[in-house]
């Protein structure tokens, strides 16, 4: 008789592998089978890390900077982050109000583990980045979703936030520009949210600013602690090197926030992973303190790509694509495609059906909107080459045109 395997933790029952990871794996499998696949599923810049950052990492390794780092970050990187917050956001954080982690994702779980008790609520505007809800659950919290419909630009309204807050609310998560919608909150819109938060002093606020430098046209980025300084003592401002400097693989996130909260988060990090790779921290110092021209140049390329995908996706039958303010995503509505059958014979009843048929029949990978808490949509990442984007849009148009 076969032995029964020991049980896994019950907490995993509500935590799924990210849909973007799943779709990327499916796309790679098709490519390995010989198909020409275009992946619009992963939120990763297609650029290389700036050369001066790579050189700084090499120099640090050759100089012997390869030992255990401080759990909260090297003094050099914390000082560079301090300068970055002042330069880019007008925020003054003391060095003991700054910490470094293994990507922005670890900042979030550190914060949740340090503050959430069983049953505490985390208010998350939807559509939302998948990990917010799963990490809240892992910490024992309960996600509370606040729909932000397309007719409001996918943005959180102050009155909807006010209605969602209860005595059990522990956190509000703000992500602007947003993954997956690309929506970004103006300073005036942030002030309206701040006015609500002023009435609820028991609520922490996480301001995830990872896409701050990817805003387009006349839109000006703003962040909560900057716009509403009276709230700064309960705002955690989250950022990192991944998106701005195309350093996803270096795994460096950072944040600024109240000293007591940061102390507790460093404690959590000490139990989970300890400090961040020393040479990656050296590279991030160079990225933050070095020339910033590359950031603006790449933002201009993203703007051109956004215009391309918005125009071309709106030509697809049954698709309506909103033009967002930032990030490198669009979030097209596919209500007009539902209830139909693809050329390959697949019934399209949901946005999941749509992206699976699109991948199987046209070899374009994207992520269904249900994964981000709002259907019927799908997320397109335009952080890929312009010609690939053009071809992907052509395939999506062909796919939608074949639905009957």
The 3-state DSSP class for residue 341 equals strand
* The predicted structure's pLDDT at residue 194: 98
Last residue of a domain, one of 289, 309, 332: 289
Residue 65 lies in a domain: yes
Band of pLDDT at residue 163, cut at 50, 70 and 90: very high
The string of pLDDT tens digits covering residues 223-261 is 999 999 999 999 999 999 999 999 999 999 999 999 999
In this structure, the answer to whether residues 362 and 254 fall within a common structural domain is: no
In this structure, the answer to whether residues 38 and 141 fall within a common structural domain is: no
Last residue of a domain, one of 250, 265, 289: 289
In this structure, the answer to whether residues 127 and 154 fall within a common structural domain is: yes
In this structure, the answer to whether residues 102 and 117 fall within a common structural domain is: yes
- On the question of pLDDT at 17 being above 80, the answer is no
Residue of 9, 18, 4 lying closest to 371 (CA atoms) = 18
Tally of domains within the chain = 2
Q: What is the mean pLDDT of residues 91-112?
A: 98
Last residue of a domain, one of 236, 264, 289: 289
- On the question of pLDDT at 139 being above 90, the answer is yes
Band of pLDDT at residue 26, cut at 50, 70 and 90: confident
Angle between helices 351-362 and 19-32 (to 10 degrees): 20
In this structure, the answer to whether residues 319 and 285 fall within a common structural domain is: no
The string of pLDDT tens digits covering residues 195-215 is 999 999 999 999 999 999 999
Residue 309 lies in a domain: yes
| Contact present, 284 and 53 (Cβ < 8 Å) | yes
Give the structural domain span for 114: 51-289
Residue 91 lies in a domain: yes
- Contacting residues for 353 by C-beta, under 8 A, at least 6 apart: 346, 347
The 3-state DSSP class for residue 114 equals helix
- First and final C-alpha spacing in the chain: 53
In this structure, the answer to whether residues 247 and 379 fall within a common structural domain is: no
In this structure, the answer to whether residues 22 and 55 fall within a common structural domain is: no
Residue 4 lies in a domain: no
| Contact present, 162 and 193 (Cβ < 8 Å) | no
Residue of 158, 299, 287 lying closest to 221 (CA atoms) = 299
Q: What's 236's domain CATH number?
A: 3.40.640.10
Residue 343 lies in a domain: yes
The string of pLDDT tens digits covering residues 124-138 is 999 999 999 999 999
Q: What's 353's domain CATH number?
A: 3.90.1150.10
- Contacting residues for 94 by C-beta, under 8 A, at least 6 apart: 82, 259
The string of pLDDT tens digits covering residues 29-81 is 888 888 899 999 988 999 999 999 999 999 999 999 999 999 999 999 999 99
* % of the chain residues with pLDDT over 90: 91
Q: Identify the residue whose tokens are 């509505």.
A: 333
In this structure, the answer to whether residues 146 and 276 fall within a common structural domain is: yes
The string of pLDDT tens digits covering residues 288-305 is 999 999 999 999 999 999
Q: Higher-confidence residue: 190 or 32?
A: 190
Q: Rounded to an integer, what distance in angstroms lies between the CA atom of residue 232 and that of residue 146?
A: 23
Residue 183 lies in a domain: yes
In this structure, the answer to whether residues 314 and 263 fall within a common structural domain is: no
The 10 Å Cβ neighbour count of residue 328 is 28
- On the question of pLDDT at 2 being above 70, the answer is no
Band of pLDDT at residue 10, cut at 50, 70 and 90: confident
Distance (Å) of CA 310 to CA 171, 216, 325, 330, 382: 33, 14, 12, 7, 10
- On the question of pLDDT at 1 being above 60, the answer is no
In this structure, the answer to whether residues 214 and 363 fall within a common structural domain is: no
Is 263 exposed, middle or buried, given 0-12, 13-18 or 19+ CB atoms closer than 10 A? middle
* The predicted structure's pLDDT at residue 4: 79
* The predicted structure's pLDDT at residue 25: 82
Choose the weakest-confidence range: 35-39, 96-100, 328-332: 35-39
In this structure, the answer to whether residues 107 and 20 fall within a common structural domain is: no
- On the question of pLDDT at 14 being above 80, the answer is no
Residue 95 lies in a domain: yes
In this structure, the answer to whether residues 18 and 118 fall within a common structural domain is: no
Residue 87 lies in a domain: yes
Is 267 exposed, middle or buried, given 0-12, 13-18 or 19+ CB atoms closer than 10 A? middle
């Amino acid at each position: 008789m076969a032995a029964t395997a020991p049980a896994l933790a019950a907490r995993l029952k509500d935590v799924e592998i990210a849909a973007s990871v799943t779709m990327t794996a499916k796309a790679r499998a098709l490519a390995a089978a010989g198909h020409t696949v275009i992946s619009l599923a992963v939120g990763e810049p297609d650029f290389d890390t700036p050369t001066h950052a790579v050189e700084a990492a090499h120099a640090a390794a050759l100089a012997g900077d390869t030992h255990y780092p401080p759990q909260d970050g090297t003094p050099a990187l914390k000082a560079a982050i301090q300068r970055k917050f002042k330069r880019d956001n007008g925020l003054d954080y003391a060095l003991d109000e700054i910490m470094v982690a293994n990507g922005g994702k670890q900042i979030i779980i550190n914060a949740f583990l340090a503050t959430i008790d069983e049953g505490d609520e985390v208010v998350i505007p939807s559509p939302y980045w998948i990990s917010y809800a799963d990490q809240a659950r892992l910490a024992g919290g309960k996600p509370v979703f606040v729909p932000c419909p397309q007719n409001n630009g996918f943005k959180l309204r102050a009155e909807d936030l006010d209605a969602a807050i209860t005595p059990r609310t522990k956190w509000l998560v703000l992500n602007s520009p947003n993954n997956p919608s690309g929506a970004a909150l103006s300073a005036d819109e942030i002030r309206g949210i701040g006015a609500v938060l002023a009435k609820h002093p028991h609520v922490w606020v996480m301001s995830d600013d990872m896409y701050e430098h990817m805003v387009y046209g006349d839109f000006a980025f703003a962040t909560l602690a900057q716009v509403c300084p009276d709230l700064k003592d309960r705002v955690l401002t989250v950022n990192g090197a991944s998106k701005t400097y195309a350093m996803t693989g270096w795994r460096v996130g950072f944040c600024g926030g109240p000293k007591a909260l940061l102390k507790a988060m460093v404690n959590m990090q000490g139990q989970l992973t300890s400090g961040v790779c020393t040479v990656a921290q050296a590279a991030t110092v160079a990225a933050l303190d070095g020339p910033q021209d590359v950031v603006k140049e790449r933002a201009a390329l993203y703007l051109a790509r956004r215009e391309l995908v918005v125009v071309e996706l709106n030509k697809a039958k049954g698709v309506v694509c909103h033009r967002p303010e930032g990030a490198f995503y669009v979030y097209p509505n596919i209500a007009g495609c539902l209830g139909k059958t693809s050329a390959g014979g697949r019934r399209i009843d949901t946005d999941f059906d749509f992206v699976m048929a699109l991948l199987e029949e046209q070899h374009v990978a994207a992520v269904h909107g249900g994964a981000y808490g709002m259907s019927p949509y799908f997320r397109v990442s335009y952080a890929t080459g312009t010609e690939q984007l053009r071809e992907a849009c052509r395939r999506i148009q062909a796919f939608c045109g074949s639905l009957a």
